[in-house]
Amino acid sequence: MALRHIALFRWTDGVTSEQVGEVVDGLSRLPSRIPELRAYTFGPDLGVSDGTYDFGVVADLADEKALTVYREHPDHQAVLAVMRPLIADRASVQIHIADPE
């Protein structure tokens, strides 16, 4: 069984689309730099439902060890440094998923 890491974010008031774009640009660079990322999807909420958070990230990894590598990777830490001041609230889980076929 592989592991799916999910993190949802609510931004603080006044976060601009330019700031979100900077987050997207930063996250976009991670798959080529962190080979532990088997799949990586992220983006702003589409605004099709009420009460949603503002942004979601889903990282598929082999196991807990790969999750730690992802989390501690300097390029990931650099994106987190950009994100941190924007975050009002965060919700996350790690769940089991099937291994890729």
**Binding site residues, a copy of itself, CB under 8 A:** 3-4, 6, 8, 41-46, 48-49, 51-56, 58, 64, 67, 91-98
Q: Which is nearer to a copy of itself, 6 or 82 (CB)?
A: 6
Provide the token pair at 17.
């689309």
CB of 21 to a copy of itself, least distance (A): 14
The C-alpha atoms of residue 94 and residue 17 are separated, in whole angstroms, by 28
Residue tagged 């949603």 (tokens): 52
Q: Are 90 and 7 in contact, with CB atoms under 8 Å apart?
A: yes
Residue tagged 């769940």 (tokens): 95
CB of 33 to a copy of itself, least distance (A): 19
CB of 45 to a copy of itself, least distance (A): 4
